[in-house]
């Protein structure tokens, strides 16, 4: 029985489990893992034409592997994109994007509150090759418009942002990018395609750290870029030459992760919403950043652009660094780790960890204060998470 699986006919929950899978003649039910670095050619002629890219068929696992390709086609289907290219990590996805689309003399407009290593890549490495990056506040569209010019080749942002959960209007940024002939890249790590599809709002490229929610259980590193066939040919050409490639084992783990993505995201959202509301009522807490709260400045936009508010929130406590550290040291089983998007709830102090390499000035500009705590809300019972946090918060008043 053969059946042509047309992704446009199916909902995301089905795509996450079925899209892209063509069984071998063995009829295996579950997706197989192909641990092979290279492939046999049918003839010298076949080898020559595959190398020239004229004939279909794999050449070398630096840029083609059936298990990795299956993950790529499934992710592309979920994002509503033509094609995805998988990479060895989220940072490798951002690096590959830069190498594919930027040259000396180009300029990048980047949101001031993106992932710390993303800033490091632009400031420390792309700058060495003559690419200048302007960091701009996500909420100040006027500043982006003023900074955009004919040298601008890439706009880069995360929404919701980390750790402050600010929301960017993807459509507005896409229009700005189009106006100056630049590409808009959206790092969709926090929402995943289960909650937000940036390409459908006009973005040109979607970036993923698969390490987070796509895996969902904190096991492996990986990343991806999603976009048009033409753009992905550029990204894949960089992988073909330089090799920041996803391993087939990791791709297989991500395929298993994708199968439960929408279910997990539903629960992450529900737990985060419950925790945000509960935190808002605690005496030791001075503010809560979560777009699911009605008084969050990005609430209406997030409700329109996303199908859920996500699993990450942050909050400030009374006092400064000592208070935040007392709370973090006071919890008993929440994981003190910088990872996020895990079944396990994690807690971290951004100012001295994830954003610790920023200067005080950069950190102030990004709004990351010493009394800020970030939580990636996991899949445990909400009541148990609250109980442990209550223990942590009680240490603030004691101290």
Ligand X SMILES: *Cc1c(COP(=O)(O)O)cnc(C)c1O
Binding site for ligand X (CB under 6 A): 89-91, 115, 118, 158, 162, 187, 189, 209, 211-212, 221, 223
Residue 110 C-beta: closest distance to ligand X, Å: 12
- C-beta of 223: minimal distance to ligand X in Å? 5
Residue closest to ligand X (Cβ): 90
Distances (CA, A) of 137 to 179, 252, 263, 311, 338: 20, 38, 33, 23, 23
- Residue 354's nearest CA partner among 113, 157, 160, 139 is 113
Minimum distance between the CB of residue 118 and ligand X, rounded to whole angstroms?
A: 6
Cα 358–Cα 364–Cα 369 angle in degrees, nearest 5? 95
CB of 90 to ligand X, least distance (A): 2
The least distance separating ligand X from the CB of residue 239, rounded to whole angstroms, comes to 15
Using CA atoms, how far apart are residues 285 and 376, in angstroms rounded to an integer? 17
- Using the minimum distance from each CB to ligand X, give the nearer residue, 65 or 211: 211
* Closer by beta carbon to ligand X, 66 or else 116: 116
Of 217, 308, 206, nearest to 254 by C-alpha is: 217
The nearest distance, CB 95 to ligand X, in angstroms, is: 9
User: If you search the block for the tokens 């330089």, which residue do you land on?
Assistant: 242
The Cα–Cα gap between 357 and 270 comes to 33
Least Å distance, CB 12 to ligand X, is 21
Residue 217 · residue 343 · CB < 8 Å = yes
Instruction: Name every residue whose Cβ is closer than 8 Å to that of residue 248 and which is 6 or more positions away in sequence.
Output: 33, 34, 35, 36, 61, 65, 66, 67, 68
Which residue carries 């529900």 as its tokens?
270
Q: Which is nearer to ligand X, 366 or 382 (CB)?
A: 366
In the complex, what is the shortest distance from the CB of residue 398 to ligand X, in angstroms, rounded to a whole number?
33
Beta bridge partners of 316: 287, 372
> Nearer Cβ to ligand X, position 119 or 371?
119
CA–CA gap between residue 211 and residue 189 (Å, rounded): 9
- The residues facing 206 across adjacent strands are 186, 226
State which residue, 79 or 187, has the beta carbon closest to ligand X: 187
By C-beta, is 72 or 284 nearer to ligand X? 72
| Helix, strand, coil abundance in the chain, percent, nearest 5 | 45, 15, 40
For ligand X, which is the closer residue by CB, 63 or 213? 213
| Residue number with CB closer to ligand X (209 or 289) | 209
């Amino acid at each position: 029985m053969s059946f042509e699986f047309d992704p446009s006919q199916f909902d995301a929950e089905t795509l996450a489990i079925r899209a892209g899978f063509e069984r071998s003649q063995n009829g295996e039910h579950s997706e197989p893992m192909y641990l092979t670095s290279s492939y046999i050619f049918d003839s010298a002629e076949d080898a020559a034409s595959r190398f020239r890219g004229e004939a279909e068929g794999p050449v070398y696992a630096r840029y083609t592997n059936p298990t990795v390709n299956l993950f790529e086609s499934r992710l592309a289907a979920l994002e509503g994109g033509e094609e995805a290219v998988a990479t060895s990590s989220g940072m490798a996805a951002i690096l590959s994007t830069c190498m594919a689309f930027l040259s000396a003399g180009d300029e990048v407009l980047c949101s001031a509150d993106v992932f710390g290593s993303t800033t490091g890549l632009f400031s420390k490495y792309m700058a060495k090759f003559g690419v200048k990056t302007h960091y701009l506040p996500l909420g100040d569209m006027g500043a982006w418009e003023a900074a955009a010019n004919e040298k601008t080749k890439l706009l880069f942002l995360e929404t919701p942002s980390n750790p402050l959960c600010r929301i960017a209007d993807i459509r507005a940024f896409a229009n700005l990018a189009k106006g100056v002939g630049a590409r808009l890249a959206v790092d969709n790590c926090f929402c995943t395609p289960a909650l937000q599809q940036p390409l459908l709002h006009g973005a040109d490229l979607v970036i993923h750290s698969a390490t987070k929610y796509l895996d969902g259980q904190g096991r492996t590193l990986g990343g991806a870029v999603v976009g048009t066939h033409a753009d992905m040919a550029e990204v894949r050409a960089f992988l073909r030459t330089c090799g920041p490639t996803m391993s087939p084992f990791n791709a297989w783990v991500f395929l298993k992760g994708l199968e439960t993505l929408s279910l997990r995201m539903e629960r992450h959202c529900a737990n985060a919403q419950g925790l945000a509301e509960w935190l808002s009522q605690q005496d030791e807490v001075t503010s809560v950043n979560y777009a699911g709260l009605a008084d969050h400045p990005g609430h209406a936009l997030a409700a329109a652009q996303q199908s859920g508010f996500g699993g990450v929130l942050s909050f400030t406590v009374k006092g400064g660094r000592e208070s935040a550290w007392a709370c973090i040291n006071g919890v008993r089983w929440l994981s003190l780790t910088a990872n996020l998007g895990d079944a396990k709830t994690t807690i971290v102090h951004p100012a001295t960890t994830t954003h610790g390499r920023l200067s005080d000035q950069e950190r102030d500009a990004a709004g990351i204060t010493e009394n800020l705590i970030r939580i990636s809300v996991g899949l445990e019972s909400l009541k148990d998470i609250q109980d442990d946090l209550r223990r942590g918060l009680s240490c603030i008043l004691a101290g």
